[in-house]
């Protein structure tokens, strides 16, 4: 006879099995982007244990790249906090779409919030939860798998340093391709098209105006203003969609 614990374990195994295929693109991307971080941090004199510890405790792609510069004499912690806050400010808006789904996650909720990277966030909106898997376990499996790739990648990078058997130049395009695929998926649902276009145009416009290093915050503000101002148009379309 199966105990309740066995059932719980079994459903977690099912959740991880179901989640794994969805995370393979992130696996490719995170292994290599994580390796690049590992290479950078070991050049600063930190071994693979430090690299993996940072990926365990911080877990942010561009945030960790930026953080490499902070391991130098004379950098104030306030500077560190300010720079990281500005870089990651886009994350403030991510949780807005997940308030309800995360509220059903019990003890896992804090980890879900902690692990909400661009890639994990994006995956949540293209994955379909299989009928025999619980949603909370499925989302948790995606989040945990993604972070494990990141930690392993940064460890490998710090261990291998610059000695890689083949040129990996351009492999980080896997991340771009992942977002392009997710965007294409969103586009196929006609409800999302206006939002996708708003995001692309705001991004492009702000990139030209503010430059590559400072355009994310203006883009987020631009997106929010247009979405709020266009609420009537965007919801009308949805009502029609549901009715038709």
Partner 1 sequence: MPVSVGRSFAIIAAVGGTVFFTRLIPFLFFPKGKEIPPMIQYLGKVLPPAVIGMLVIYCLKSVNVLAAPFGLPELIAVAVVILLHVWKRNNLLSIGTGTVLYMFLIQAVF
Q: Which among 6-14, 92-100, 142-150, 157-165 is the span making contact with partner 1, rule CB under 8 A?
A: 92-100
Of 72 and 243, nearer to partner 1 (C-beta) is 72
The torsion angles phi and psi of 132, rounded to 5 degrees, stand at -95, 15
Residues 38 and 51 sit within 8 Å (Cβ to Cβ): yes
CA gap 85, 91 in Å, rounded: 10
Binding partner 1 (rule: CB under 8 A), the pick from 129, 159, 160, 182 is: 182
Site residues (CB under 8 A) for partner 1, limited to 224-243:
224, 227-228, 231, 234-235
Site residues (CB under 8 A) for partner 1, limited to 123-152:
125
What are the distances in angstroms from CA 89 to CA 46, 71, 182?
A: 27, 22, 22
Of 11 and 201, nearer to partner 1 (C-beta) is 201
CA gap 231, 177 in Å, rounded: 30
Q: Contact between 122 and partner 1 (CB under 8 A)?
A: yes
Binding partner 1 (rule: CB under 8 A), the pick from 6, 9, 49, 97 is: 97
Q: Contact between 203 and partner 1 (CB under 8 A)?
A: yes
Nearest to residue 80, comparing CAs of 91, 69, 89, 90? 69
Of 13 and 56, nearer to partner 1 (C-beta) is 56
DSSP states of 12-79: HHHHHHHHHHHHHHHHHHHHHHHHHHHHHHHHTT--HHHHHHHHHHT--HHHHHHHHTTSSTT--HHH
Binding partner 1 (rule: CB under 8 A), the pick from 34, 84, 137, 146 is: 84
Q: Contact between 73 and partner 1 (CB under 8 A)?
A: yes
Site residues (CB under 8 A) for partner 1, limited to 151-180:
167-171, 173-180
Q: Contact between 218 and partner 1 (CB under 8 A)?
A: no
């Amino acid at each position: 006879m199966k105990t309740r614990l066995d059932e719980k374990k079994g459903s977690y195994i099912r959740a991880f099995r179901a989640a794994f295929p969805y995370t393979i693109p992130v696996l490719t991307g995170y292994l290599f982007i994580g390796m690049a971080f590992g290479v950078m941090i070991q050049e600063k004199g930190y071994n693979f244990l430090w690299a993996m510890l940072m990926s365990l405790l911080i877990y942010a792609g561009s945030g960790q790249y930026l953080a490499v510069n902070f391991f130098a004499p004379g950098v104030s912690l306030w500077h560190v906090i300010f720079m990281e806050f500005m870089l990651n400010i886009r994350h403030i808006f991510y949780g807005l779409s997940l308030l309800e789904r995360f509220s059903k996650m019990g003890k896992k909720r804090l980890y879900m919030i902690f692990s909400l990277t661009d890639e994990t966030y994006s995956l949540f909106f293209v994955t379909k939860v299989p009928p025999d898997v619980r949603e909370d376990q499925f989302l948790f499996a995606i989040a945990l798998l993604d972070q494990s790739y990141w930690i392993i990648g940064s460890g490998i990078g710090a261990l291998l340093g610059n000695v890689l058997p083949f040129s990996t130049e351009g492999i980080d395009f896997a991340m771009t391709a992942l977002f392009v695929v997710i965007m294409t998926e969103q586009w196929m649902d006609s409800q999302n098209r206006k939002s996708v276009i708003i995001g692309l145009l705001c991004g492009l416009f702000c990139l030209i105006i503010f430059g590559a290093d400072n355009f994310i915050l203006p883009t987020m503000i631009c997106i929010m203003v247009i979405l709020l101002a266009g609420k009537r148009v965007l919801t009308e379309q949805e009502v029609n969609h549901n009715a038709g």
